[in-house]
């Protein structure tokens, strides 16, 4: 199974990626992991990326594309892969298509996790993190015994800056501007499978596996 996972911030891509990768016995490839590996190993691409990051600039697509191209040459991809966080725009989707075409290993599917914006704001804005031990909580779904106090260590629970409503709204705007167009790109390619990403984690995983298996019987 060669799979790309797409969906807005807060759709649960990271969680579902782990379960789906395990189910299909394929590596979960996230752009974050690729960046960290290149930076840690001090590869030429990692050094180039670090230069942009140190200047507070976004790492350009050209560098990200080359990191992904390199990762897709590794020998652990016999059963396929699950890409999470790439592509982020149509230009990257076209590059990925070209890379896989060269290897004669086209994508099998692109799974979109669909969630209403209001649900995403509720999920993300309700998250809290302990200042002392780092454990997470949620004011709606995982309420602490005492408001604002961590159940594990009694430390103070706080809201991260990127979980504030105005920041979430901006992240969703960026997603709509930059990443949502790849949904149409893959729909035209005949690769898109869309499922609802609301409900329990287990229900969403089961829904995803059924949809993927049905599409590739």
127 in catalytic set: yes
Strand-strand pairing, 127-130 and 109-114: unpaired
Cα–Cα distance for residue pair 155/136, rounded to 1 Å: 11
**What are φ and ψ of residue 152, in 5° steps?**
-80, -45
Cα–Cα distance for residue pair 138/153, rounded to 1 Å: 16
DSSP code at position 178: I
- Annotated catalytic residue within 13, 71, 123, 128: 13
- Annotated catalytic residue within 50, 135, 171, 187: 171
- Annotated catalytic residue within 2, 71, 127, 128: 127
- Annotated catalytic residue within 131, 143, 160, 210: 160
171 in catalytic set: yes
11, burial (CB in 10 Å: exposed 0-12, middle 13-18, buried 19+): buried
Q: Any idea which residues carry the catalytic annotation?
A: 13, 88, 127, 160, 171
């Amino acid at each position: 199974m060669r799979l790309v996972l797409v969906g807005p911030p807060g759709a649960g891509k990271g969680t579902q990626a782990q379960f789906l990768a395990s189910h299909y016995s394929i590596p979960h490839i996230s752009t974050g992991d690729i960046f960290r590996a290149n930076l840690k190993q001090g590869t030429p691409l990692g050094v180039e990326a670090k230069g942009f990051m140190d200047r507070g600039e976004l790492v350009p697509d050209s560098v990200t594309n080359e990191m992904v191209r390199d990762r897709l040459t590794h020998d652990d991809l016999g059963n396929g892969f699950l890409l999470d966080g790439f592509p982020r725009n149509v230009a990257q989707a076209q590059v990925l298509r070209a890379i896989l075409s060269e290897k004669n290993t086209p994508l099998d599917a692109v799974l979109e996790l669909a969630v209403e914006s209001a649900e995403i704001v509720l999920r993300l804005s309700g998250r809290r993190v302990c200042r002392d031990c780092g454990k997470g909580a949620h004011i709606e779904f995982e309420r602490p015994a005492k408001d604002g106090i961590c159940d594990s260590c009694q430390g103070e629970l706080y809201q991260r800056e990127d979980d504030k409503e105005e920041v979430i709204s901006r992240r969703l705007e960026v997603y709509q501007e930059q990443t949502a167009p790849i949904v149409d790109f893959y729909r035209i390619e005949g690769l898109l499978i869309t499922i609802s990403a609301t409900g329990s984690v287990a229900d969403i995983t089961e829904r995803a596996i059924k949809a993927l298996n049905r599409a590739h019987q």
